[in-house]
Amino acid sequence: MLLEAVYHRPKLNWSYAYDRETIHLRLRAKKDDLTHVYAFTGDKYIWDQSKELIPMSKMASDELFDYWACVVKPPYRRLKYGFLLQNGEEQIWMTESEFSQERPAVPDRLFDYPYINPADIFTVPEWVKDAVFYQIFPERFANGDPSLDPANVLPWGGKPERHNFFGGDLQGVIDHLDHLTELGINAIYFTPIFEATTNHKYDTADYMKVDPHFGDAETLKKLVKVCHGRGIRVLLDAVFNHSGKTFAPFVDVLEKGEQSRYKDWFVVREFPLQVKDGVPTYDTFSFEPHMPKLNTENPEVKEYLLGVAEYWIKEVGIDGWRLDVANEVDHQFWRDFRKVVKKANPDAYILGEIWHESSGWLQGDQFDAVMNYPFTEAVLDFIVRRSLDSAGYANAIGKQLSRYPQQASEVAFNLLDSHDTPRLLTLCEGNKDLMKLAAILLFTYSGTPCIYYGDEIGLDGDQDPDCRKCMEWDPAKQDRDLFAFYQKLIAIRKDLPALRTGSIHFRVAEAKGSKLAYERRLGEQSVLVLLNNDSVGQTIQVEAAGETWVDAFDGREWPVQHGTLSVKLPAYGYAILTRA
């Protein structure tokens, strides 16, 4: 056994409360190095009467490590624990301080989970586990009220540029909710809707005012009410890392410099505010002069922004916030943000925009979830870029699942494209078979899937601004076959709970392979997901119980023969199978 590779520490993603009576334990070891792992557990105050060995199983693997896990329900909410590691006949005990050949006689040097305090449990909104999100860029979705159009509005469907406008608004969304309902959507994520100068609205001028080109607060109230009537949740975008250049406090600092009462609302390195050699003398988002960074450690700034977060939840009834550039804002601000938002609506979804490993924000005191870009990249690397084989994809997913507590993974925000990236169809170079394979991975994975508006009808587009085209509403120009595919895929996900919150086990994932099979399990339900990521047909064989499995897409039956399920898939084919 390579003991140098064995790792565990209390709390974080290694030892945490899943609910009021359950603790999850995890341990990392070198890949394929251990044959069995047990958690050695008990109550420290009645150790001899309560101690037991609980078998652990591999929850995930990556290219270097296996991640072992088990569930413990300590009757008195306290837990002392160590581990028994085995490789065949060889075994060793692991405590908090050492590895030992002898079983610990007393619990003194074992790991300690002192008590499951309800206030410390990382709880997430249950509705997100069943949500299918649809991202809307309001300026480009639909023009429902031409009277709101900016003076320089262009005809709908023209070429998107960084600074042009086509007149999309909130009434346009209301007018087209039938499209979302028909598709099966039950949650919408809107990019910013508050007053700003740009078409994307990430340069907020007034956080308490809906942009006049989109409507007003009453229009927003109407939209939320109509959405809720259809069972659709609404998530708004909060840009609290920075404001826009027309934000009144920033205008005041521009005019008055060091004499402005708002000078500490921003992070100013040098007065007057100006740009020198392309670099502003004040901190900004990137180096954009029109997006000055807010000083969220300033009590007045914090009070203002937290008031904004609370206001739109209470006043309009939105269901949560997506937080722009969340990793550049201080952690204490987000801790206070969570308290305010969850007090206003305990069921609100708090989603951070972070593109990398995010465990520091997912401990239950800040966000419920982050935008799961590591998952995005794994799917694209496997399906589109071909830089990962089947084994590489499985490893990437295993690594991602090992990083966070289970409840965070269950509400992760999974996406394949957005307003910040080229569209999925363009990444697939117009190959809709590849696009469908990527969507299969998206909709059969833990967390909530999100469709970027128009993907479902074949909208394409390269990097920003091309990925922000106007939605196509002419049915003759929509890809209805693609729409039907997404519609069916959403229905399958809703019908099979294991696809939403079940465990994941890779059954076929070979080095240099293009065949992939994994199983999602939840209670008695088992779902097999099979993909052929190749331009030639292939047969995937999986050990399976039962007599017959049925494809949720077309109802085709596949018999089990001698304990093996053999499924022939065409080029870029797929199947989602359940036991008959």
Angle at 204 between CA 461 and CA 352, to 5 degrees: 65
Determine whether 353 is an active site residue: yes
Cα distances from 384 to residues 433, 438, 485, in angstroms, run 11, 8, 19
The residue type of 285 is F
CA of 55: how far to CAs of 1, 10, 189, 395, 465, in Å? 18, 19, 41, 23, 53
What is the maximum alpha-carbon separation in the chain?
Answer: 83
List the catalytic residue out of 169, 237, 319, 324: 324
The catalytic position among 139, 353, 455, 519 is: 353
Quote the tokens at residue 522: 């939840």
Instruction: Give the span between the Cα atoms of 413 and 349, in whole angstroms.
Output: 11
- What is the per-residue DSSP string for 106-140? SSTTSEEE----GGGS----GGGGG--EEEE-GGG
Q: What is the four-CA torsion angle of 162, 166, 170, 171, rounded to 10 degrees?
A: 180
Please tell me whether the peptide bond between 249 and the residue prior to it is cis, using omega within 30 degrees of 0.
no
In the chain, the amino acid numbered 323 is L
**Is 576:552 a contact under the CB 8 Å cutoff?**
yes
| Segments in 89-243 forming alpha helices (H) | 170-175, 177-183, 217-229
209, with CB counted inside 10 A (0-12, 13-18, 19+), is: middle
- Residue 410, H or E segment: helix 406-410
Q: Are strands 564-569 and 557-561 parallel, antiparallel or unpaired?
A: antiparallel
- Pick the closest to residue 211 from 188, 236, 230 (CA basis): 236
DSSP letters for 489-525:
HHHHHHH-THHHH-EEEEEEE-TT--EEEEEEEETTE
Category of 327 on φ-ψ map: left (φ > 0), alpha (ψ -120 to 50) or beta: alpha
- Is 96 one of the annotated active-site residues of the chain? no
Strand 525-532 to 557-561 pairing: unpaired
Contact yes or no for 31/61 (Cβ under 8 A): yes
Collapsing DSSP to helix, strand or coil, 396 comes out as helix
SS (HEC) of 478-497: CCHHHHHHHHHHHHHHHHCC
Active site amino acids: 324, 353
